């Protein structure tokens, strides 16, 4: 596939993701990609495998599903309207077609506490134990083989070069993309202080694993301007809950996420903010005595 095509379609996808809450027209999306509106829908489908309208509808439904899971105090109608649906009736019909049940049933059956296997009495037992701003898990309570340290932090904004990978998440999902990025970076600047970051755009509990988006990123100096198949974006700073963990496989990483959503959030005064989570990769597993990967899971938050 022509690199320029991929670059332009990526701009269109980013524009769609950032504007799901408002009315989107084919003309304005095509304009962001610098394609004619008369041919853009065919080009978009050829590159992504989805029609533009289907892509927008799927992302809106997945965004709404995630909010239904995480924002228990918000009505389903409010979520539907805020995610770009004209009415709660249209939303309910589309949601049932996508997920096989009504939004209300989805909320009742798939809360984050249930997804994490956390019962209410376990949460109550934790309530008096430790502040949710600083929790140490030793594996005996969490089911994770290694420590999970959780804290609220103010994170900086990172300027990154990236390649997008679409498919099932896994510790090796973006290995090839990171290799490509580093090969490119070695020719451009010193990578001694470069930070490796993975942006997690989708929740695999909601999005079809084959459609999950993951951006392999490395931080870059201000004067570097990526070209071709390598894009550039900012990982926005602000307040995040950060879970530091050591994992040896994807299931352990998923357990770390479940601990944060199932144990930390219910005890805190925060809810997940409406922007993507990301992971900071702190080591090369090949150099670790147990072959483990050290990761900071960074989830944006806002006050309830």
**CATH code, domain carrying 265:** 3.20.80.10
Query: Residue 240 sits in which domain range?
Result: 152-303
Q: What is the dihedral of CA 173, 179, 182, 186, to 10 degrees?
A: 180
Question: Do residues 169 and 241 both lie within one domain?
Answer: yes
Q: What angle do CA 275, 279, 281 make, to 5 degrees?
A: 160
Cα 160 to Cα 81: distance, rounded to the nearest angstrom: 33
Shared domain check, 158 and 91: no
Low-confidence stretches of the chain (pLDDT beneath 70): 1-2, 111-146
Specify whether the CB–CB gap between 234 and 147 falls below 8 A. Answer: no
pLDDT in tens, 231-265: 999 999 999 999 999 998 888 898 898 888 877 88
What confidence score (pLDDT) does residue 119 get? 33
Looking at residue 58, what is its pLDDT? Answer: 93
Q: What are the tens digits of pLDDT across the range 177-191?
A: 999 999 999 999 999
Supply the pLDDT for residue 132.
Answer: 42
CA–CA separation, 260 and 242 (whole Å) = 9
Domain count, the chain: 2
> Measured between alpha carbons, how far is residue 212 from residues 21, 84, 111, 232, 236 in Å?
20, 21, 20, 20, 21
Q: Are residues 179 and 299 in the same domain?
A: yes
Residue 2: what pLDDT? Answer: 59
Model-level pTM? 0.68
Segments in 71-115 forming alpha helices (H): 76-82, 88-99, 103-109, 112-115
Q: Closest Cα to residue 62, out of 105, 91, 27, 25? A: 91
Structure tokens that stand for 2 in this block? 């022509």
Determine the distance from the C-alpha atom of residue 179 to the mean position of all C-alpha atoms in its chain, rounded to a whole number.
21
Residues 72 and 169 placed together within one structural domain of the fold: no
Same domain, 90 and 171: no
d(CA 264, CA 131): 9
Asked if the structure places residue 115 within a domain, the reply is no
């Amino acid at each position: 596939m022509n690199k320029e095509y991929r670059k332009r379609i990526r701009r269109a996808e980013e524009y769609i993701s950032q504007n799901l809450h408002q009315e989107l027209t084919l003309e304005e999306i095509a304009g962001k990609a610098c394609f004619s509106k008369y041919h853009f829908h065919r080009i978009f489908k050829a590159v992504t495998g989805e029609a533009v309208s289907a892509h927008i509808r799927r992302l809106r439904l997945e965004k709404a599903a995630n909010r239904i899971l995480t924002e228990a105090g918000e009505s389903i109608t409010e979520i539907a309207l805020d995610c770009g649906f004209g009415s709660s009736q249209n939303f309910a019909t589309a949601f049932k077609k996508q997920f096989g049940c009504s939004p209300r049933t989805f909320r009742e059956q798939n809360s984050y506490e249930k997804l994490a296997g956390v019962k209410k009495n376990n949460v109550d037992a934790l309530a008096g134990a430790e502040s949710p701003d600083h929790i140490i898990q030793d594996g005996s309570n969490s089911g994770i083989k290694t420590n999970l340290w959780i804290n609220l932090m103010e994170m900086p904004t990172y300027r990154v070069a990236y390649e997008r990978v679409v498919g099932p998440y896994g510790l090796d999902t973006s290995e090839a993309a990171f290799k490509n990025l580093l090969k490119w970076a070695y020719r451009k600047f010193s990578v001694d202080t470069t930070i490796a970051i993975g942006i997690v755009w989708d929740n695999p509990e909601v999005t079809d694993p084959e459609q999950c988006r993951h951006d392999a990123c490395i931080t870059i100096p201000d004067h570097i301007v990526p070209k071709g198949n390598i894009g550039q974006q900012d990982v926005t700073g602000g307040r995040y809950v950060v879970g530091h963990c050591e994992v040896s496989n994807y299931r352990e990483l998923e357990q770390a996420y479940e601990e944060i959503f199932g144990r930390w959030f219910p005890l805190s005064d925060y809810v997940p903010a409406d922007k993507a989570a990301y992971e900071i990769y702190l080591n090369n597993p090949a150099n670790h005595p147990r072959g483990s990967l050290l990761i900071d899971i960074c989830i944006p938050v806002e006050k309830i």
